[in-house]
Amino acid sequence: MTGGREGIRLRRSKQREVILEELRKLKTHPRSDELYTLVRQRLPHVSLGTVYRNLDRLQGEGTAVEIYCGDFVRYDGNVSPHDHFMCRVCRRVWDFDARHGDSPGVPAESENQAGFQVESQYTMFLGLCPDCAAS
């Protein structure tokens, strides 16, 4: 292992690998506590704090995405550009393909607008999922 910042960035822990593996298996966009419950099945002695720290690190290095859902955060192991849909009743989150409609995108001219540099974008659609709409 090399020293310095590069060595730290490349270092992988078994705990972080398991957390990322479990996150990537899921399509449910779990909260940290939900992911913690799943990770404990493989690593019974892992702490919730360890899961939080590793999720923060994974997000920082670009291998996980935080999805802000108002008063809570969900996580996604799919870092490719895609949109999400959140049901306003059950609060579940799904990947959402908005290509069929007028999806808001980042206009090319906004890249340098007022000094802002757009690095990424995701859109959160809000509404009713099929289950809640049927209720």
Q: What architecture is the 81-135 domain classified under in CATH? A: 2-Layer Sandwich (3.30)
Residues of the chain with CATH 1.10.10.10: 1-78
Three-state secondary-structure class, residue 7 = helix
Show contacts of 54-60: CB within 8 Å, 24+ apart: 54/13, 54/15, 54/16, 54/19, 55/19, 55/23, 57/16, 58/16, 58/19, 58/20, 58/23
Q: What architecture is the 1-78 domain classified under in CATH? A: Orthogonal Bundle (1.10)
* Side-chain half-sphere CA neighbours of 13 within 13 A: 13
Q: What is the pLDDT of residues 50-108, one digit of tens each?
A: 999 999 999 999 999 999 988 889 999 999 989 999 999 999 999 998 765 554 555 55
Predicted TM-score of the model (pTM): 0.75
